[in-house]
Every structure is written in structure tokens, then in C-alpha cells.
Structure 1
Amino acid sequence: MIRILGLDVSKSSVSACLLLEKPEDPRQFYYECPFFCLSANAKGIQELLALKPDIALLEPTGNNYSKLWGTHLARAGVEVRLVGHKELRNYRANHLALPDKDDDADALALACYYFDYQQDPRRFVQIRDREIVRIRELVLRLAHLNRVQSPIMNRARQDLAWQFPEVALVKSRRGEAGLSPLLWAWLAGERQSNRYDRLYSESVGLGITDTVRQHAKRICDLQREEHVIEEELREILTDSRFENYRQVFKKFGFGARVQAVLISQIYPIEGFLNADGRPEVRILQGRNSKKPTKRHLSLRRFQKALGAAPSLESSGDRKKSKVVGGSDLCRKSLWQWVYTRIEPKRSRLKNDIAQILGEQLDAEKAAGRPVRLVRNRIAAKGARMLFRELVKIHLGSDSPD
């Protein structure tokens, strides 16, 4: 008899529910089930493996919490499956009618989820291979370093406004071979600059303090760490598996960071397609018109993965569309791509993709539509075009349909 383990992961422990079959009345079983609370230490891991599960189900809580438990289970030969947060929430409330959310209820819901959906792989979050997991870790680390740098840099510039105002707004970029940006490296005492020496000797400022120099050292350290991560990403992306993806990305003008973010979310493209390698398209009844409507399900899943799929919400006569689900990092990366590569006319590539997106953006802005809405629309359209280009190169044809 197969042993199914539901694990709800917390910061330093897990709540575990072991099932041999789905209980007939999950709500009543919730009050009778012998749940396990296991700590994130050697004893907790030993107790987890002593349960001898065949399959374990967890929510994807990022790289910080679930990774410990999932890795130890995988090393012990246990199959690990991931269930999306939204899917589990709906399943727990609508199918099991469990009481208010708590760790034990989630663990029980995860275990039950397997018995209901074990034959449908799309009910589970795709488990990525080692290289994709590593790319994901690196792009998340870059995003973290960017968040850390911004307040430090802003504070340093505010202080420079009265200590050395002539350079307070200088945009200093990282040099070749990963050299720290000249301004911050000069302030930290790591690089020489005759220009900054001369400007400082003639400055009307009140003098640079040790606090600013310490901030500059922190910025240099963070920039060096970024460079090391970017070099590793570039090396990983040279893998032949990503060659077709990078050919398509080049048409869109995606930078190295955006490419890494996208690959971490959409590779392999086959995960969005039917078993025959073609997009899934179904004729379904329209919600409002009740007429047969073509639904591009693969495209929808792809957009959702990138955080670029609008969802319609309605209450009474009020209806609104908003973007929900998917990767916040992808959504932000696409928005920045629109802002830096599509919106400025001088930055657009000379191809059909940039022309179509650029003309629509210009027309909507000229019509007076809110610029934030326009950028979101262009990002969503860019995601649709990206999917079609990837499918075309995957099929080796001119049409994805």
C-alpha cells in the first residue's frame, strides 16, 4: 500500500500527515489524525525518514524553507511533488471543507490532493532539473542584491548632496572585468581618479564622512557579488539546450538577466504543450455569449507563468481585470523590458516584433491612456508573441497552430 505524506513547511519545522488512503470524511478525520510536528534538525529529519513515505507533497515555498525537507526526501528515494498555493487553498476550502487554515489542515489537504489528482500531472507544479533550479536561485539572489543596494545607494547620495554635491547624482557603472563603479570605488579608496580628486579639491561640499565611505565599500562588495553571479549565469546559459530560446530572446532584445529570469520560469516549453508538441486549443462554451469559443489553453498557461495573464473579477455590475498569479519577478522583468527597450524609440530593435509593439505603445499613449496600463498591455502582448515564436522554433515551422 502506497504511503503518502503531506508536509506543510514552516520556518523551522513541518507539520506532517501520513495517509495510506484518502479518508471518507476528511473534516472529521482532521480531528482524529495523529499529525507529526518535526523540527528542522537532525532528530526531525530522522523522524521524517522513519515515516518511510513513498510520495511526499509540499507547497513551493521558495528556496529557503522547503528546500531542506525536499532535498533530504529526494536523497532517500522519495518522490517529491509540489502543489501550487492557489490550487491547495481552493482544494482545502471547496473540496474538503476543512476548518480555518492551519498547518495541520494544509498537511492533510496536501496528502488528500494526491489521491484525487495523481493521474493529472498538470495539477502539480513542474519540478525543474538541477540547472534550472540553479538559474532560479541565481536570479533570486540578484533580485535580493538589487533590493539591498538601493537604500544604501540612496542614503549615500543624500549625504553626498551636502558633502560632495558635484558627484551626488553621477551615474557610475561597473567597469570591465567586474571592476566596481568608479565613483563608489574612489569613495571606498579602491580605485584612483584624477577627475574626482580635482572635483573634490574644488568642491563646495562640507567634506566626505566615514559613513559615506563605508556605504561605498558596501556597494562595491555587493557589485562584485553581482558580477560573480552574472558570470555563472552566462556560463549556464551557454548550454546547448537553451540555444533556441536565446535565438528567440535576441529578437525581443532581452538582456542577459531577463533571459535568465524567463528561462527559469518557462523551460522547457514542452511543459506548456500537448503530448504531440503542439499548443492545446479547445472549443469551449463562452461564459457570457454561450457560443463556441476557441480557447488557447497553452498560451494562457504560458502567460500565467510569466505573470502576464489578466484575470476577470466581477461582483454585481462591477467587473474589472487584473493580473494575478505567476512570477512577480517575470512580471517585473517584462515591465522593465517594455520601459527600456520598447518605449524609447532609440532603443527599439529594427524588426517586426519591436515595430508592432512600439507602434501599439505609441498609439495608446497618444490616445491618452494611462501609461502604466499601456506598459502592462504591451508586456502581455510581448508574452503572447514570445510564446508563438518559441513554439514556431520548437515545431520548426512558420506557424504555431
Structure 2
Amino acid sequence: MIRILGLDVSKSSVSVCLLTEKPEDPRQFYYECPFFKLSADAKGIQDLLALNADIALLEPTGNNYSKLWGTHLARAGVEVRLVGHKELRNYRANHLALPDKDDDADALALACYYFDYQQDPRRFVQIRDREIVRIRELVLRLAHLNRVQSPIMNRVRQDLAWQFPEVALVKSRRGESGEPPLLWGWLAGIRKSKRYDCLYSQTVGLGITDTVRQHALRICNLQSEEYVIEAELRELLADSRFEHYRTVFKMFGFGDRLSSVIISQIYPIEGFLDADGKPEVRIRQGRNSKKPTKRHLSLRRFQKALGAAPSMEASGDSRKSKVVGGSDLCRKSLWQWVFTRIEPKRSRLKNDIGKTLGEQLDTEKAAGRPVKLVRNRIAAKGARLLFRELVKGLK
């Protein structure tokens, strides 16, 4: 008899529901079920593994909370499946009619979910291999470091406006070998610069405070951590499995960071295709035209993963389209790519991709359409072109 665990993970504990079959009345079973509450310690892990589960289901709560429990279960030979947040929320409310959301209700819903959808792999979040998981961890760490640095830099520049105004707006970049940016390194006292020494000796500012020097040291440390992460990412991207992806990414002008973000979301590309390794296309009747209409399902899933799939919302006479779901980080990264490699004519890609996207962007901007809308459209079209180029290389 198969033993299914539903785990709802919290910061320092987990609620567990063990089922051997789906209850006939999940709502009534909710009040009778002996749920387990396990802490994130040695005893909690030991008690979890003592349940001798065959399959465990949990939500993909980032790279932090669920990682501990999922890793220990996998090491013990338990198959781990992930269920998306939106899918579980709808299933719990609409299919099981469970009471208000709590940890135990989520654990029960996760366990029941397996019995209803065990034969449909698309109902579960894809579990990526170790290298892809590591790439994703590093990408998220870089995004975190970027968020941490920005307010510190802004604070330092505001202080330099009255302490050393001659350098308040200087853009200083990290060296190719990982040396801290010259300005921040000089302010922190770990790099020397005759130029800044000379400027400071003649400054009209009121003098650099210890607070600014401490902030500069923090920036240098964060930049050094970024360099180590980027070096590991380059090593991971050099894997022969990603050769085709790197070739296509080069056509789009993607740097290492953007390449890492996208690979962490879409590898392997075969996961978006049908059983024959071809893009899945179905013909359905159009809602309005009532004529046979092609539905490019593989492309749609690919765009969704990149956060570039618009969804239609209609209510009465109101109809609007907006992008929902997918990776927020990927959506932001694609938008930045449009802003830096497609929109500026001086740095626009010198190939058919740059020409196609650039001409459409220029035309729509000239027509007076909102710039934000135009950039989102170009990012979505770029995602479509990326999918076609990746699939083309598989043939």
C-alpha cells in the first residue's frame, strides 16, 4: 500500500499529513486526521523519515525553507514532487472545499493532490537537476546582492554630495580580475589612487566621515562576493549540455547573468515539447470567430516560464491583457535586455533579431504608444523568437 506525505513547510517546522488513500470526505477527514507537527531539528527529521513514505509532496517555497526537508527525504529514497502555489490553492478551495487556509489543510490538500493527478506530470512543478538548481541559487543570490547594494550606494552618494562632491556621481566598476571598484576601494582604504588623493586635497567638501568609509567597505565586500558567484556561473555555463543554448543566447546578445537566469528557467527545452520532441500545437475553435484556430501550447508554456505570457481578463464590456505568473526575475531581466540592447540604436544587435525587434519598437514608440507597454511587447516577442531559435537547433 503506497504511503503519501503532504508537507506544508514553515520557517522552522513542517505540518505533515500521511495518507494511504484519498479520503471520501476530505472536509470531515480534516477534523479527524492525526496531523504531525515536526520541528527543523534532528528529532524532526528522524520522525519524518520514520513515517516510511513512498512519495512526498510539498510546495516550492523558495530555495530556503523546503530545501532542508526535500533534501533529507530524497536522500532517504523518497520520491519528492512539487505542487505550484496557485494550483494547490485552487485545488484546496474548489475541489476539496476545505475550511480557511491553515498549515494542516495545506498538508492534507497536498497529499490528496497526488491521488487525483498522479498520472499527469504537467500538474507538478518540474524538478531540475543539480547543476540547474545550483545555477538558480546563484542567480537568486546575485539578485539579492544587487538589492542590498543599491540603497547603500545611494546613501553614500548622498553623503558624498557634501563630504566630497567632486566624486559623488563617479561611476566606478569592478576590475576584470575582481579588484574592488577604485572609488569604493579608495574610500574604504583598501586601494590607492593618486587621482582621488589629489582631488580630495582640493575638495570644497566638508570631509569624509567614518560612516562613508564603512559603507564603502561593505560595497567592496559585496562586489567581491558577486565576482566569486559570477566565476562559478561561468564555469557552470561552460557545461557541454548548454553549448546549443549559449550559441543561441549569443545571437540575442545575452550576457552571463541573463543567460544564467534564462537557463535556470527553461532547461531542458525538451520539457516544453510533446512526446515526439516537437512544439505542441492544437487546433481549437476560436471563441469569437468560431473558426479553427491554432494554439501554440509549447510556446505558451515557454513564455509563461519566462514571465512573458500575457493573459486576457474580461468582465462585461471591459477587456484587458496583462502579464501574470512566471519568473519575476526573468521578466525583469528581459525588460532590462530590451532597454539596453534593443532600444538604444547605438548598442542594438547587428543581426536580423535586432533589426526585427528594433524596427517594431521604433514604430510603436513613434505611434505614441506607452513606452512601458512597448517594451513589454518587445520582450514577449523576443521570448517567442528565442523559443523558435532554440527549437530550430534541435532538428
TM-score tier by shorter-chain length is over 0.9
**How much has 1:287 moved relative to structure 2?**
2.8
Match of 2:186 in 1: 186
Q: 3-state SS of the aligned residue for 1:34?
A: coil
In the aligned structure 1, how far is the partner of 2:394 from the partner of 2:104? 44
AA matched with 2:155: R
TM-score, normalised relative to structure 1: 0.97
Structure 1, residues 258-310: CA drift from partner, whole Å, max 9, x if none?
Answer: 00000000000000001111000001122333332110000000000000001
Match of 2:25 in 1: 25
Aligned pairs (5 A) from 1:301-320: 301-320=301-320
AA matched with 2:63: N
**How much has 1:127 moved relative to structure 2?**
0.3
AA matched with 2:76: A
In the aligned structure 2, how far is the partner of 1:110 from the partner of 1:43? 23
Match of 1:338 in 2: 338
Q: 3-state SS of the aligned residue for 1:176?
A: coil
Structure 1, residues 343-389: CA drift from partner, whole Å, max 9, x if none?
Answer: 11111121000100000111111111111111111000000000000
Match of 2:197 in 1: 197
Match of 1:352 in 2: 352
In the aligned structure 2, how far is the partner of 1:225 from the partner of 1:360? 39
Q: 3-state SS of the aligned residue for 1:80?
A: strand
In the aligned structure 1, how far is the partner of 2:202 from the partner of 2:366? 46
AA matched with 2:186: W
Match of 2:210 in 1: 210
Match of 1:63 in 2: 63
AA matched with 2:142: L
Match of 1:170 in 2: 170
Match of 2:264 in 1: 264
Match of 1:136 in 2: 136
In the aligned structure 1, how far is the partner of 2:144 from the partner of 2:344? 27
AA matched with 1:162: W
Q: 3-state SS of the aligned residue for 1:178?
A: coil
Match of 2:76 in 1: 76
**How much has 1:160 moved relative to structure 2?**
0.1
In the aligned structure 2, how far is the partner of 1:94 from the partner of 1:285? 27
Aligned pairs (5 A) from 1:214-293: 214-293=214-293
Aligned pairs (5 A) from 1:108-119: 108-119=108-119
Structure 1: runs of 5+ lacking an equivalent? 396-401
Q: 3-state SS of the aligned residue for 1:5?
A: strand
Structure 1, residues 218-270: CA drift from partner, whole Å, max 9, x if none?
Answer: 00000000000000000010000000000000000011100000000000000
In the aligned structure 2, how far is the partner of 1:10 from the partner of 1:140? 20
Aligned pairs (5 A) from 1:81-96: 81-96=81-96
Q: 3-state SS of the aligned residue for 2:290?
A: coil
In the aligned structure 1, how far is the partner of 2:238 from the partner of 2:47? 42
AA matched with 2:233: L
AA matched with 1:191: R
| Matched residue count | 395
In the aligned structure 1, how far is the partner of 2:299 from the partner of 2:306? 11
Match of 1:398 in 2: none
AA matched with 1:42: A
Match of 1:153 in 2: 153
Cα 1:94–1:287, aligned 2, differ >3 Å: closer, same or farther?
A: farther
Structure 1, residues 139-182: CA drift from partner, whole Å, max 9, x if none?
Answer: 00000000000000000000000000010000101112001110
In the aligned structure 1, how far is the partner of 2:144 from the partner of 2:331? 16
Match of 2:384 in 1: 384
In the aligned structure 1, how far is the partner of 2:264 from the partner of 2:20? 35
In the aligned structure 1, how far is the partner of 2:32 from the partner of 2:290? 46
Match of 2:12 in 1: 12
Q: 3-state SS of the aligned residue for 1:15?
A: strand
**Pairwise CA RMSD:** 0.8
In the aligned structure 2, how far is the partner of 1:245 from the partner of 1:176? 25
In the aligned structure 2, how far is the partner of 1:313 from the partner of 1:94? 20
AA matched with 1:138: L
Structure 1, residues 176-212: CA drift from partner, whole Å, max 9, x if none?
Answer: 2001110000101111111111111111100000000
